[in-house]
Amino acid sequence: MGAGVAEVGGLMGALIRLLVGASPRRLLAFILIFVGVLSSIASDAGYLILVPLGAAAFLSVGRHPLAGMAACFAGVGAIFGVNPILGPIDAMVTEITNEAIGAAGGGAPLTIVANYWFSVVSSVVLAVVAAVVTERVVEPRLGPFHGEATGGPATDLATDLAAEKRGLRYALFGFLGFLALILVFTVPDGSPLRDPETGDIIGTTPFMDSLLFIIAMFFLVSGIAYGIGAGTFKKANDVIAAVTKTFAGLAGLVFMLLMISQFIAYFNYSNLPSVLAITLAEALESAGIGALPLLIGMIIVILLLDVIMPGLVPKWAIFAPIFVPLFIQLGVPPQTGLAAYRVGDSPLNVVTPLMVYLPFMVTVAQRYDKSAGIGTIIALMLPFVVILATVWIALFILWFVLGLPLGPGYPVAL
């Protein structure tokens, strides 16, 4: 996985350059935003690589670079909680949810696909909405761009296209080769990744239990293949160095997860989740408030708290032991509370002053407008925040009312 993450920046840049050259002008915003949504599987790569590339991509086709920067920032930050590709974030929030379920005695634990259908639809719908906001609201407000890029690293898209195309071709071959291997171990009857008793693939099966590892291996194989094709990996030591570099940057994450695990353990040991859940559930039941208004209320609370606590995982570690048992007491499945949390967590990421990458966004903007500051970024991103939050809440309400499953085998309501 380490080599795959280390090469994802180069792979992402190559894909963007290829798409910019091959895509119609009107699809550029959607493509950049959707790649931004996908980039959350690679941690910080979207902020550090995609946002500057988005500005350069818009400039290369005669559009305002700040609009491209804003579009990518919206895709990476404001639609952060969902992704068509399952990743480490899904695993972490699912495990935190399962800790809360266990503390409440609420039933079987969730798997990482508990919100998958909702995540796929949300990511596509919100990417389309963000593209419309870019072209109909943000870009017209900026007007035509008459300046030029200054400062910072080179912002044009010129590069060794032959090496990148070869790397992308190798990455595709690696992806397809590993996919064929997974199909061999999954599709035939009696395959080792099927349930040994029922023969099922979906459910509590070896395939589902190892899904995150399989996805990580896809990125590892594709990343190594890209590096070999593009010439960035010339010997085995280059791959090892990339893995080492990747894991060297995970110390902060490991420490954060240690603190979160201790908090959850002591919180559960105190029995406060059960006491709070039962007390609040009795009060809410006597008030006659339905499940959907309560879920919407939680979304709004999370939206407001995101201004002072933008981290997705730490925030859920605090609120899952409270909200999950509460909703279980009220007959709302844990996966529904988790889906509501995803809706509330992300939209305000791009305007909170505590967003760690906000100064970086200012630096990118100042390459094209020397007078740009934090106020410039917030003004650019506010239309995304308001419209994306409204559309996302409406989508969640529609999903709940229609009773659509949130993931394979996970109903939105009991």
pLDDT for 133-161, tens place per residue?
999 999 999 988 887 666 554 444 445 56
- Least confident range from 116-130, 345-359, 387-401: namely 345-359
pLDDT at 158: 47
Task: Identify the top-confidence range among 23-37, 197-211, 337-351.
Answer: 337-351
The token pair that represents 378 in the structure block: 């917030």
The token pair that represents 192 in the structure block: 């080792």
- Least confident range from 200-209, 245-254, 286-295: namely 245-254
pTM of the prediction?
A: 0.74
Instruction: Write out the E strands in 85-181.
Output: none
Given 3-state DSSP classes, what are the helix, strand and coil percentages for the chain, each rounded to the nearest 5?
A: 70, 0, 30
pLDDT at 240: 80
Say whether pLDDT at 82 is over 70.
yes
In 3D space, the residue among 218, 190, 220 whose CA is nearest the CA of residue 206 turns out to be: 190
The band of 25, judged by pLDDT with boundaries at 50, 70 and 90, is low
pLDDT at 13: 54
Evaluate whether 239 touches 3 at the Cβ level (below 8 Å). yes
* Residue-wise pLDDT tens digits, 185-225: 888 888 888 888 877 776 667 887 777 688 778 878 888 88
Dist. CA 43–CA 76, nearest whole Å: 10
pLDDT at 273: 57
Task: Identify the top-confidence range among 26-30, 173-177, 380-384.
Answer: 380-384
The token pair that represents 236 in the structure block: 């085995």
Please give the DSSP secondary-structure letter assigned to residue 240.
H
* Residue-wise pLDDT tens digits, 269-279: 776 655 655 56
Q: 410 by DSSP, 3-state: which?
A: strand
Vertex 143, ends 138 and 148: CA angle to 5°?
Answer: 110
Say whether pLDDT at 24 is over 90.
no
pLDDT at 224: 86
In 3D space, the residue among 73, 67, 2 whose CA is nearest the CA of residue 35 turns out to be: 73
Enumerate the H helices of 270-311 as residue ranges.
Answer: 272-287, 291-305
Please give the DSSP secondary-structure letter assigned to residue 406.
S
- Least confident range from 14-18, 141-145, 297-301, 324-328: namely 14-18
More confident residue, 71 or 352: 71
pLDDT at 6: 45
Evaluate whether 16 touches 32 at the Cβ level (below 8 Å). yes
Residue 410: beta bridge partners? 407
pLDDT at 246: 64
Instruction: Determine whether 297 is exposed, middle or buried from the number of CB atoms within 10 Å of its CB (0-12, 13-18, 19+).
Output: middle
The band of 66, judged by pLDDT with boundaries at 50, 70 and 90, is very high
Please give the DSSP secondary-structure letter assigned to residue 200.
-
Count the neighbouring beta carbons within 10 Å of the beta carbon of residue 234: 10
More confident residue, 281 or 227: 227
Structural domain boundaries in the chain? 2-153+162-402
pLDDT at 282: 61
Query: Over pLDDT 90: what percentage of the chain?
Result: 27
Say whether pLDDT at 102 is over 50.
yes
* Run of H or E including 51: helix 51-60
263-289 mean pLDDT: 63
Q: Which residues contact 338 (CB under 8 A, 6 or more apart)?
A: 93, 94, 97, 110, 114, 115, 324
Please give the DSSP secondary-structure letter assigned to residue 334.
H
Q: How far apart are the first and last CA of the chain?
A: 37
pLDDT at 124: 96
CA 143 to chain centre: 31
More confident residue, 14 or 395: 395
Task: Identify the top-confidence range among 203-217, 252-266, 330-344.
Answer: 330-344
Average pLDDT, the chain: 81
Dist. CA 5–CA 19, nearest whole Å: 21
**How many residues are present in the chain?**
414
